[in-house]
Amino acid sequence: MPENTSISINPDLYEQAKQDALREHRTIAGQIEFWARVGRAALDNPDLPVSFVAESLASLAEPRDQSQPFVPRSRRG
C-alpha cells in the first residue's frame, strides 16, 4: 500500500492540478504524480518532445482491454 505524505504546494499549482485532474479523470494527487513522472521522463529523454513523453505515459495507464493494436500503414487494407 502506498505511503501518504503531506506536502505544501503553491495554491495556484493546486488549482491547476484540480482542473486538469477533473478533465483527465484523475485525483488531484494522481495529477501531480503524473506531472512528476512526465517531468522525470522528459529530463531523462531530452531529445523527445514533452508531449510525446506525456502521451506515452498516459497510454501506459490505459486499460489494455480497451486498447487497439497498432497496424502499420503498409499492412492496412
* Per-residue pLDDT tens digits for 21-69: 999 999 999 999 999 999 999 999 999 999 999 988 888 877 777 777 7
Report pTM. 0.70
Is residue 27 domain-resident?
yes
Q: Report the domain count for the chain.
A: 1
Q: Is the CB of residue 32 less than 8 Å from the CB of residue 48?
A: no
* Per-residue pLDDT tens digits for 5-20: 888 999 999 999 999 9
Is residue 53 domain-resident?
yes
Whether the predicted pLDDT of 2 surpasses 70: no
Q: Give the residue numbers spanning the domain of 41.
A: 21-61
Is residue 45 domain-resident?
yes
Question: Higher pLDDT residue, 21 or 74?
Answer: 21
Instruction: Write b or e for each residue in 23-54: b if 16 or more Cβ atoms lie within 10 A of its Cβ, otherwise e.
Output: eeebebeebbebeebbeebbeeeeeeeeeebb
Question: What is the pLDDT, as a whole number, of residue 69?
Answer: 77
